[in-house]
Structure 1
Amino acid sequence: MKRLLVYIRRYRLRYLIGIACTLATATLAMLIPLLIRDSINAVQAGRNTALSRYAGVMGVAALVMGVVRWFSRFVIFNAGRDIEYDIRNDLFARLVTLGPDFYRRLKTGDLMSRMVNDLSAVRMLVGIGVLTFTNTPLYYIYALAFMASLNLRLTLASLVPYFVMLYAMRKLTRALMERSLKVQEGLGAIGAKVQESLAGIHVVKAYTLEEHEGARFRALNDEYNQNGLALARLRGAITPMIRGAIASSVMIVLIYGGSLTLAHRLSIGDLVAFMSYLGQLAWPTMSLGWMLSIYQRGKAAMKRLEEIFDATPTPGIEGPRERLPVAGAIEWNNVSFSYFAHNGRSHDGQLRYALRNISVKVGPGEKLAIVGRTGSGKSTMIKMLTRLIDPTEGSVTLDGRDLRELPLRALRRTVGVVPQEPMLFSDTLARNIAFGTPDAAAEQIATAAAVAGLESDLASLPAGLDTIVGERGMALSGGQKQRVTIARLLVYDPAVVVLDDALSSVDTETERAVLASLSETVRGRTTIVVAHRASTVRDADHIIVLEDGEIAERGTHQELMARRGIYAELFQRQLLEEELEHY
C-alpha cells in the first residue's frame, strides 16, 4: 500500500480541496438538527413568527450543502480516475520490461484481469473509498460532540451497541481480506482460461474438445462462485450487525431519553435534536461494512498489482536508438547456458544445460548456418544475440565487445531477428511490416513485401497492404505470417540479420526463392540462419550442427557432406522429402 500513497500524494491538493468540501458538508449537516431544536423550542415558547426564519435558514443550508457535497465528490472521484490512469500506464510500462521467466509464471488472461478488475478495485479505494473514509469519521466526531453537549450520559448509553459492533467487525476483517483475495485470484484464473481457450479455439475444435474445455471452465467458474458466495455471506453478516447496532441505539435513546424528558431533565427540542444526530450517524454506520469491503478488496487488488511492480525487469533499454557502427563480427566464446541457472536445479537435482561449450566465430559480412534436430539448442543461441537471455558461462561478442557492455537499445537496433513463431498484431498488413519502424515510407514497405515474396499474396487480399490481418494475424496462413515478419526485418534495416527458422511454414521452393531474394538484399551484412532444412543453407560460409546442446559438426556444405555425419543424414532426408512433395 506504500506505493499507492505515492500516487495519492501527486494529487494531494485535489484531495485536500475535496476533504475541505466534505468538512463543510458535515458542518452544514450538523447545523440543521440545532435549527430544528431551536424551532421546536420557539414554538413551545410561543414565538411562532421565528419558524419562517428558521425554515429559510435550513433551506439555504440544505442548498449550499448539496452544492458543496457535489463538488467534493467531483474532485475526489476525478482524482481517483487520474490515479487509475497513472497506475495503468506504469503497469504497462513495467510489463514490457519483464522477461520470459515472468510470463512463463503468469498467464496472459490473469495479467489482463489485474490490469482491468484489480485496477478498478484500486480506483474504488482511492475514489469513493477516500470520500467514505473521510466522511464517516467527520460525521461521528461532529455528531458525538453535539450529542455530548446535549446530554453526556445519554450519548454514552447510545454508544454501547456500537462498541459491541466494532469489536465483532474487527474479528471479521482478516477473513474479509483473505476471501477478497481469493475472489480476485479466481477472477484472474477465469480470465486466463477464456483467453487461452479462445486463442487456441482452432485446436479445440480440431480435436472436438468443446465439451472438455467447457467442463474445465465450469470447474474454475464453480470455484470462483463458491469463493464469491463465501465472501457474500461474510459481507451479508456485516449489514444485519450494523442495523442491529443502530436499532439498539435508537431503542436506548427512546427509553432513556424519554424518561429524561418526562423528568424535565431534557427538553423535547433537545431530544428531537439528539435523535436527529443519531439519525445522521445511521448512514455512516451503514457504510462501515461497505467501507471495510472496499478497503479489503482494494488492498487485495493492490497486493496482486505489486507482484507486477516488484518483478525483476530485464536489463534496461537506455541509451541511443541509433544503430551501432559495427563491422558485424560475432563470436560465441565458450558459451554454456542453463534455463535452471537462476531458478534452482531441475526435478532430478541436476543442472541441465541447453548449450554447452559453444565456440563459434563469424566474420563481418559472412553467413553462419545453424542446423540441428528439434530441441538441440538452435533458438537458445539466437536469443543471446539480442540479450533475451545471457550466457550462464562464457560470453557473446560483437566486434570484440561483450554484448553485456553494449547499450541494449542500440544493440537491438543493430541486430534484427525474425523469430521462429511469427507475431502479428490486429492492424493493417502495412503497419505490421512497419512495426519496428513506424515512420517507414509506403514505397519502403512495398519493396520489403516484394523481397519477402508477398507480391502474389497481396493481390488476393481484399485491401492489399491495408488489409486488417486480425488478432495474431489469423487472416493469414502460417507461411504468409512468416514472410510478413521477414518484410518487417527488411524495413527495420539492421546491421546483423538473424533468421530463426523463419520459413519453416512454407514449402521448399518458396523458401529457396525468398532466401535467394533476401540474400541479394542483405548482401554484405553478417547473416545468421537457423534452419530445419539442411538443403537451404548450403551457400553458408560456415555451418555448425548442434546435437544435445553441443556442436557435433562444423564446416562448409561440401566438407560436412563428405564427412557423412548428422548433417549429411539431415540433408539426404530433406532431399527425399522434397521428392515426395512432387508426387
Structure 2
Amino acid sequence: MHRKDIFWSHIKEHRLAYVMGFALLSISSVLQLLIPWLLGRFTDSLQVGGLTYDQAVRYAVWMIAVGAGIAFFRSTSRIYLFRLSRQLEMRVRGDLFVHWEKLSSQYFNNQRIGDLMSHAISDVGVIREVTMQGYFNVMEAVFLIVVSVIAMVSSVNPWLTLVTMLPLPLLSIIAYRFNKRIMQQSTDMQAAISDLTSRVQEFTAGIRVVKAFIQEKPERELFTKDNQRAVDMNRRFVKSNSLFGALSSGIVGFSFLVSVVMGGIMVLQNIITLGEFVAFNTYLSLLMGPIENLGKVVNQLQRGKASEQRLLEIFNTQPDIVDDEMASPDIQDLEGGIEIRNLSFSYPEATRPSLHNISLKVPKGSSLAIVGRVGSGKSTLVHLLVRLYNPPKGSVFIDGHDIHEIPLRTLRGQIGIVPQDQFLFSSTIRDNIGFDPKPYSDEQVEEAAKVAQVYDNIVEFPNQFDTALGERGISLSGGQRQRVSIARAIIKKPAVLIFDDSLSAVDTITEDRILEGLKSVMNKRTTIIIGHRISSVQHADQIVVMDEGRIVERGNHDQLLALNGIYADMHHKQLLDQEAERQDGHEKGSIPSRLLQGGAGA
C-alpha cells in the first residue's frame, strides 16, 4: 500500500482532538487580547484624572484573573496537543519497525545501520517537533494575528493598522526565498548525522579488529572528519535559520517603529487617545512573538518535510518476500520431503547466475550433505529453501507443494537453520536458545544445550543460563556461539534442520560429540548439512559436491571416494592435514594439536 503522507493522516485521524486543542488555545488567545484593552482603559482613566483607588484595585484583580486564565488554558492546550505529537512519534516509530520486519534481507544488505538508526531516532524526532511546536505555533499565530488585527481596526484606528501591517507580507517573500535552502540543508544535516552514526556503530562493532591492527589513529581521523562534516552541516543550517529569524525580527521591529511614530503623531493630533495608543502597541507586542515564531515554523516545516520524505521512501519500499497469492492457509505442518527441479537463480545485483540447473530430491527423514569451495552456491541453496530470497516458481517443492504455496510463517516455523554468522542477541543464554514464539521450559532449554554440547560450558558461568551476553554474543567464544545457535535451532524440533557450515569453529573432538548428540534429533527429520570437513558430512545419506553453482558430483561417501574427483581430493587433503597435526603433536609432547586448539572451540 502506497503511503502518501505522515502528518495529515495523523491529523485526520485525531481531528476531534486537534479541534479541542485549538479551541483551548483560542480561549487563551482571546484572554490575551483583554490585556491591551484593560491597559487602554486604565491609561485613559489615569490621563483624565478619574482613576480611583477602588478602580485601580479592580483593574489589578482583572489583570490577575486574566493572567491566570491565560496560563491555565495555554498550558492545557499545550499538554493536549503535545500529547498528540508524542502519540504520533510512538506510532511512526512502531510502524517503521514493523515495516522493517516485513522487508527481506536483500533490503538490509544495501543499507547502513547508521542510516537506519538515524531514520528511527532523528527523523522521527523531527516529525514529533513539527507536530509539537510547529502546529501549536501556527495555530496560535494565525488566531492571534486575525483577532488582533480585527481588534486594532475596530477599537483603535484602521489606517494606523493598515500602515503598521504593510511590511508584514515581506515575511512570506523571505520564507519563500529560504524554503528550498533550508530544506536542502536539513537533508544534508540528517545525512551527516547518519554518516556519523554509521561511523560510531562500525567502530564499536569492530573494536577488536581496530586494536589488533593498531588502527586507533586512522579511525580517530575518520571519525573527526565525519564529526566535522556534521558540525559544518549544522552550522550551515543554523546560519540560514538565524538569518531568516533576524530578517523576520527586523520586519516586525520596523512595523513596531511605524506604529510608535505614526501612533504618536495621531495622539498629538487627538485622532486617537493615549489609552488607544497604549492598547494598539500592546496588541502589536502580542503579535511579535507569534509572527517571529512563524519564521521558526517555516524552518521546522521544511525539516519535517525532508524527514517525512525519507521516512515515506522507506514505508513505500514494498517487501519482495511475502506470502504468494497461491499460498494455502491450509498448509500448517510439513513433513520435510524436499525436491528441487532445474533450479537456476541469480541475485538481483549479480551479473551471472549463482545456481545453474540444480536438481535434487531429499526424502523426508533423510540427510543431505553439501560440500564445495567457497562461493560455489551452497548457502544460496539453503537461503532459497527458507525464502530469504525468492526461487523461481515451479523449482522448489516441500512435501509436493511448490514453496510459494506454503505460507511464510509455516515454512520458516517448520525449518530450523543454524546460519554461518551465529548471530546472538544481547540477552541471556536462555533467551537466545529459546528464541521462538513458542515458550520453552527450563528442561527443554537445558536438553537442547546438552545435545549441542554447550551445557557444560554454560553451567560454568556464575549465572549459568541467565548469563547476559554482550552485543552479538561477543562474551562467548566462536565455538560456544555456534553451539548456542545449534541449540536454538534444534529446540524447535522442526521438520527440516539446516546446518550451514555450523561446526567450523569447533575442534574435531567436539564436532564428533555434537554429531553424536544430533543423531537422536536428526532421526526421522530431514537434515541438510553444509560443511567443509569431510568428517562432518561423511555419514549423510546423500552428498552433493557443488562448484560454480552446479552439482558436479553426487552419491554417498564411498561412492564419491570411488569417483576420485573433487570430493576424494578434499578427503585426501584433510587426511594429510590430520596426519600432519598428529605428527606435530608428537613433536610437542605427544599432545594432538587439535586438542590444544579445543579450548578455543569449547
Indicate the TM-score class for this superposition, using the shorter chain for normalisation. Answer: over 0.9
Once the two structures are superposed, the pairs formed by residues 127-526 of structure 1 within 5 Å of their partners are: 127-149=132-154, 150-316=156-322, 324-340=332-348, 343=349, 346=350, 351-392=351-392, 395-437=395-437, 439-526=439-526
C-alpha contact 2:78 2:136 (8 A) present in aligned 1: yes
Conserved? CA contact 1:320–1:409, under 8 Å: no
Q: CA deviation at 1:41?
A: 2.1
Q: Deviations over 1:301-346 (max 9, x none)?
A: 2222122211121434699999943332101110011013xx5xx5
SS in 1 for 2:554: strand
Q: What is the CA–CA distance in structure 1 between the aligned matches of 2:213 and 2:62, rounded to whole Å? A: 76
TM-score w.r.t. the length of structure 1 is 0.95
Q: SS in structure 2 opposite 1:492?
A: coil
Residue of structure 1 in register with 2:20 after alignment: 17
CA distance in 1, matches of 2:458, 2:143: 68
Q: Displacement of 1:394 after TM fit?
A: 5.0
Is 2:75 aligned against 1:70? yes
Aligned-partner Cα distance in 2 for 1:95–1:305: 12
Unaligned runs of 5+ in 2: 586-602
CA contact (8 A) 2:104 2:321 kept: no
Q: CA deviation at 1:547?
A: 0.3
State whether residues 103 and 321 of structure 2, in contact with CA within 8 Å, keep that contact through their aligned partners in structure 1. no
> 1:388 & 1:131 partners in 2: Cα distance?
45
In 2: Cα distance, 1:531 partner to 1:442 partner: 31
Q: What letter matches 1:52 in structure 2?
A: V
SS in 1 for 2:505: coil
CA shift digits 1:225-249 (9 cap, x unpaired): 2211111110110122122112211
Question: Are 1:51 and 2:56 matched, yes or no?
Answer: yes
CA distance in 2, matches of 1:580, 1:458: 33
**Could you say which residue in structure 2 is the equivalent of 1:581?**
581
Deviation at residue 471 of structure 1 after TM alignment: 1.0
Is the CA contact (8 Å cut-off) linking 1:508 and 1:578 kept in structure 2? no
Aligned CA RMSD, in angstroms, stands at 1.8
Q: 1:118-165 CA distances to partner (integer Å, 9 max, x unpaired)?
A: 111111111122111111111111111112222121112112322223
In 2, distance between residues paired with 1:480 and 1:159?
75
Distance 1:305 1:581, change over 3 A: farther
Is the alpha carbon distance of 1:439 and 1:323 closer, same or farther for their aligned partners in structure 2, counting shifts above 3 Å?
A: farther
TM-score, length of structure 2 as denominator length: 0.92
Rounded to whole Å, the distance in 2 between the matches of 1:322 and 1:359 is 27
Q: Is the 8 A contact 2:321 2:390 kept in 1?
A: no
Letter in 2 for 1:85: M
1:535–1:574 Cα contact (<8 Å) kept: no
* C-alpha distance 320-212 of structure 1, shift in aligned 2 (>3 A): farther
Contact 1:432–1:488 (8 Å) recurs in 2: yes
Aligned-partner residue type, residue 298 of structure 1: G
In 1, Cα distance between equivalents of 2:222 and 2:580: 42
In structure 2, do the counterparts of structure 1 residues 581 and 469 end up closer, same or farther at CA, with 3 Å as the change threshold?
Answer: farther
Query: 2:249 and 2:400 mapped to 1: Cα distance?
Result: 76
1:167-206 per-position Cα deviation (integer Å, ceiling 9, x unaligned):
1222011100110111011111111111111111111111
Pick the aligned partner of 1:35 from 38, 55, 60.
38
Query: Partner of 1:545: helix, strand, or coil?
Result: strand
- Identity within the alignment, %: 36
Once residues 38 and 192 of structure 1 are traced to their aligned partners in structure 2, the CA distance between those partners, rounded to angstroms, is: 62
Conserved 8 A contact 2:333-2:410: no
Identify which range, 474-483 or 211-220, moves more after superposition: 211-220
1:89 aligns with 2:97: no
Which has the higher mean CA deviation after the structures are superposed, 407-416 or 11-20?
11-20
Deviates more, 1:561-570 or 1:34-43: 34-43
- Farther-moved stretch of structure 1 (78-87 vs 48-57): 48-57
Aligned residue in 2 for 1:104: 109
Distance 1:579 1:78 in 2: 71
Q: Which sits farther off after the overlay, 363-372 or 458-467?
A: 458-467
5+ residue gaps, structure 1 = none
Aligned equivalents of 1:393, 1:208: Cα separation in 2: 50
Q: Report the count of equivalent residues.
A: 575
Partner of 1:140, secondary structure, is helix
What SS does the corresponding residue of 1:2 show, helix, strand or coil?
A: coil
Partner SS state of residue 204, structure 2: helix
Aligned-partner SS, 1:161: coil
Contact 2:336-2:364 within 8 A present in 1 as well: yes
* 1:219 CA displacement: 1.7
Q: Judge conservation of contact 1:423–1:472 (CA < 8 Å) in 2.
A: yes
1:59 alignment partner AA: I
Q: What SS does the aligned partner of 2:340 have?
A: strand
